[in-house]
Amino acid sequence: MILGLKDKDAISRQIVEKTYEIAGKKITFESGRLALFAQGSAVIRDENGNFLLTTAGIGQPKSGDFFPLTVEYQEKYYASGKIGGNRFQKREGRPSEAAILNSRLIDRPIRPMFPKNTRTEVQIISTIMSSSGASDFGFFGITGASLSLMLAGVNDFEGPIAGVRIAADEAGNFIFDPTFEELEKSHLDLTVAGTAETITMVESQGHEVDNDLMIRAFEFAHKIIVELCHAQSDFVAEYQKIYELPKVELSLAEEDTELIEMTKNLVSREILDAFYGLGKTEFYDKYNETVANFANIIAAKKFENLNGNETISLEEMLEKIDQNAIADALKDAIKTDMRARVLEQKIRLDGRAPNEVRPVRASVGLLPHTHGSGLFERGVTQVLSVTTLGGPSDIQIVDDMYEEDLKRYVHHYNFPPFSVGEVRPLRGVGRREVGHGRLAEKALEPVLPSESEFPYMIRVVSETTTCNGSSSMASVCGSTMSLMDAGVPIKAMVAGVAMGMIFDEETGKFVILSDIQAQEDFLGDMDFKVARTEKGITALQMDCKISGLTMEVIRSVFDQSVEAISYIMGEMKKSLDAPRPELSPYAPFLLAIFVPEDKMREVIGKGGETIQGIEKNFGVEVDLQDDGHCTITAKTQETGQKALDFIKNILKDIEVGDEYEGKIIKILDTVGAIVELGKGKEGMIHISKFGVKERVANVNDVAKVGEIVKVRVYKVEKDKNRIGLEKIVPEGEKTEKIENSKQTTETV
C-alpha cells in the first residue's frame, strides 16, 4: 500500500523494482504497480515471462482461539493463453488440485512465522497472471507471501522466509526452478522453505533417493533460500527510500496471567503422572476432565474472595472463567514435563523409547469383491486401502492452466469424523485430505510399473477408520499392501513413518521420536513424514512448530527413519511380500494390439460403426489411440479374446484362396449376395458363383438373408475395395441345395 496516494497522483507514482541473480537465474521483485489498496503487494517475475502477484490483506481481530489466516493460490487460464472451462462455463471454477496444493505449500511455512496468539485476520492471495507454461511458478508464492507481509509493515511477522524448488539431473547436478521437462527426467523433486538460518517446511518426491543425496539437495536449497531472504530485506530497504511502510499492529489474545498462575499452582506431580501411559481417548478425556476440575476449583476460590459489594453466584462465576486459558496452561505444563522426560530420561508419554515404533500388523484381501485391499494397523491407527483397476477410458484427464495431461494413477485419502471419535457434517473433500492423498500418491508413483508393462488405470482409496497419529503414512503402507494384493507389479515395497522431535532451544539439545502418536504431535515440535523403499526415499513432508531445523536434525531424522521403516516393512512382509502373480477375477481384462495407420479406417469403420459394433457385440471397450496403440477392456478373458480375434481379422489382409464362414446380409436379385465375413469386411458372391450347374435367374432362388454360408475368396481388388467370393458347395450337395432353395422360394 502506498500511503497517502491520491487519484491525481496515482498515474505518476513511482514503481519500485529490482532484479536479483539467484542461482544463475534473474528474478525481479516489484511493488507499486498493482493492487494499490492491498496492505502489502509484491510481484515476482522472471526472464521467461512468469508473473506472480501476491497480496497480504490485514483485517480486523476475530473472536475465537485460533489464528484466522487464509491462503489462496489462484490459477488464471489467461496466464497461459488458455480459455479453459467447459462448453457452458468459461470462467475459472473451483480450484484445481494443483492450486489447492500450492495454497497449502504457502500456508504451511507462513503460519508458524506469526505469534500463536494472533487474532487479527490475515489473508494471502497469490495469483499467477502470466506463465511460460514451461514450469510451475507456484512455489514462488512462499517468497511472495513473505515479501508482501514485509511490505505491509507487519512487525510481528518473523520473516523473511523463502521457498525454492530443486531437481537433479542424471549427473547429480541440482537445478533451481526446474522446467517440467527437467522434472520429468529428474529422480528428485524437492520444495524447501526456510529462513536465512533454518529450514521450516519440506515437500518432496524421490525415485528411491539415498540419504546423502537428499541432504546435499537440502544444503543446496538452503543456500538459495538465504539469497532470496537477503534479496527481500534489500528490496524492502529500496522500497523505503521512496515510500513509507504501513505500520500494522496485530491483535494478540491477552493472557489472563492470574488465571494461568492459578492453573500452574494446581498442577501437581500426581496430576502430571496421570497423563502417562494412556491411550488417545483416555488422554484427552483426562485432559478435559482436569480442565473442568481446575475451572471449578478456581471459580470457587474466586467466589470466596468476593467482597460484599459484588452480587454473583458461583455458577455465574464459573461461566466467567476462561476454560481455554486453563486448557492452554495445562497443556504447557504437560508439554514441559513431557519434554523434560524425553530429553533427560528418554521416556515418552506411552512409555516407548525414542526410536521405538508401535506394534504393526498388515493384512490383505479383507474385501473379497474388490480388485485388491490392504488393512494397515500401527497401534490404534488403522487405514484400509482399496485398489480398483480400470481401462484406458478410465484414465483421469487433468485440466488446469497448463496443457491437458493424463493421470493413470490416483490416490484418494478420506478422513471421516468417526476415525477420531467425533461427530461433524460430511462435506466435500478438504485441503488436508487432498494434501495427504497427494503425499501418499507421490510415495508410490516411483515404484509403479510403466504403462507398457501394465496398461491399467489404477485408483487407490485409503479410508482412515481409526486415527491416533500419522494416518497419511499408514495410507502409504496400506496402499502398498493393496496394490500387491491386486497383482499390480510394483517394483518395490514402500512404507512410511512420521518422525517427531523434542528440541531445547536454550541448549540446542534434541531427541528424535520415531512414529509419533497424536499426543506427541499435539505437544511436540515437528512432524517429519518419511516414505521410502529399502533402497531410498520416495516422499517427504515436514512441518515444524519451532523456528526451523538445522542440517544436524535432518540427518538424524533420516538415519532414525531407516530403522523405523525397516521394522514396519518387515511386519508388512509377514502378510504379503510381493505382488500376487495374477489379477483379481473381478478386475477387468486388458488386451493390447497395434493397429497400423493404413488399417485404422477399417478398424473404426464408417462413422465409427465397426469399432462401436465390436464394443456392442462383445461387451467390451476399445480404446484406439492416434499412434496405433489399441487396448481392449473386457469383463472376462473370453469376451476380450473374441474382440481381439475380430480386430486381428480386420488387420489381416484378405487373400485369394482364403476361406470363411459368413452371413448373407443383403440380396441383389440379379447380381449376387453380400456376405459379412465376420471381420468388419464384406464380399459378394456373384450370381454365377453359387456352385450351381444350372443358370440362376434370381439370387433369391439359391440364397436368403441370414443364411450362413461357406465361401472362398477368388478375387481381391484393393484399389476398389472389392472382394469376390464363391460359395463352397460339396459336390454331392449341389442338387439338394438347388431343390431346397427352390422350395424356400416357392413357400415364400
**C-alpha cell read off for 523:** 505437544
Domain at 14-87+95-240, CATH from 3.40.1390.10, 3.40.50.300, 3.30.230.70, 1.10.760.10: 3.30.230.70
- Rounded CA gap, 259 and 411, in Å? 47
> Which residues, at least 6 apart from 581, have a Cβ–Cβ distance to it below 8 Å?
487
pLDDT of the residue at 65? 81
Residue of higher predicted confidence among 231 and 307? 231
Contact (Cβ atoms closer than 8 angstroms) between residue 622 and residue 614: yes
Question: Does residue 728 sit in helix, strand or coil?
Answer: coil
User: CATH code for 360-573?
Assistant: 3.30.230.70
Q: Which helix H or strand E contains 462, and what residues bound it?
A: strand 457-466
CATH superfamily of 659-747: Nucleic acid-binding proteins (2.40.50.140)
> Which residues, at least 6 apart from 103, have a Cβ–Cβ distance to it below 8 Å?
71, 72, 73, 95, 431
The DSSP bridge partners found for residue 414 are 463
- Rounded CA gap, 419 and 468, in Å? 9
Q: What are phi and psi of 655, to 5 degrees?
A: -125, 155
pTM: 0.86
Q: Which amino acid is at 147?
A: L
**CA torsion angle 289 294 299 301 (round to 10):** 150
| Number of other CB atoms surrounding residue 142 within 10 Å | 33
Domains 589-651 and 659-747 fall in the same CATH topology: no
Q: Which helix H or strand E contains 337, and what residues bound it?
A: helix 323-345
At 320-354, the pLDDT tens digits run 888 989 999 999 999 999 999 999 999 999 999 99
**Would you say residue 72 has pLDDT above 90?**
yes
The pLDDT-based confidence of 547 (bands split at 50, 70, 90) is confident
At 411-441, the pLDDT tens digits run 999 999 999 889 999 888 999 999 999 999 9
- Rounded CA gap, 195 and 186, in Å? 26
Highest mean pLDDT among 47-56, 356-365, 450-459, 545-554: 356-365
**C-alpha cell read off for 636:** 472376462
- Rounded CA gap, 629 and 603, in Å? 12
User: CATH code for 589-651?
Assistant: 3.30.1370.10
Contact (Cβ atoms closer than 8 angstroms) between residue 515 and residue 378: yes
Contact (Cβ atoms closer than 8 angstroms) between residue 362 and residue 374: yes
Of the candidates 231, 239, 327, 342, the one whose C-alpha atom is nearest the C-alpha of residue 286 is 327
- Rounded CA gap, 102 and 54, in Å? 13
Q: Estimate to the nearest angstrom the gap between the alpha carbon of 8 and the chain centroid.
A: 49
Least confident of 185-194, 219-228, 649-658: 649-658
Would you list the domain boundaries of the chain? Answer: 14-87+95-240, 257-345, 360-573, 589-651, 659-747
How far lies 601's CA from each of 65, 301, 356, 678, in Å?
67, 90, 64, 16
Q: Residue 322, class by beta-carbon neighbours within 10 Å (0-12 exposed, 13-18 middle, 19+ buried)?
A: middle
